[in-house]
Amino acid sequence: MKFKLNGMDRLVIPKLLPEKGAMLEQITIKELLEIIKIKTEEFDELGLMENKVNGQLSWDPEKIKVEKEFDLSKSQTSIMKDAVEKMDKDKEINQFNLETCQRIKKMR
């Protein structure tokens, strides 16, 4: 199915997903991360800048909202939804990831 994700979603989602799990789950996560990965040529479009001293990313608050459509499988969206449900249950949702979590929760 097709889903729209903005630049911030694409920065947040990798931090939401489990680092460990069954092999099939990790293969699905790897495929998902490859699909949504921000490529170097997108940095200007999303207003992303890397700090030369510490390597941290900063962004233009308006440009980071630019959406792009992605074709995600049911298993990929399920993994994201499961991760958000676990974080919610464990009370790990914060202001940085809240909007992305809400967007994922609405996915079919």
For residue 108, pLDDT beyond 90: no
Tell me the CA end-to-end span of the chain in Å, nearest whole number.
Answer: 9
Average pLDDT score, the chain: 95
Predicted local confidence at residue 52, as pLDDT: 83
Which class for 94: exposed (0-12), middle (13-18), buried (19 or more C-beta within 10 A)?
exposed
CA-wise closest residue to 8 among 103, 93, 83: 103
Domain segments of the chain as ranges: 2-105
* 51 — pLDDT class (breaks 50, 70, 90): confident
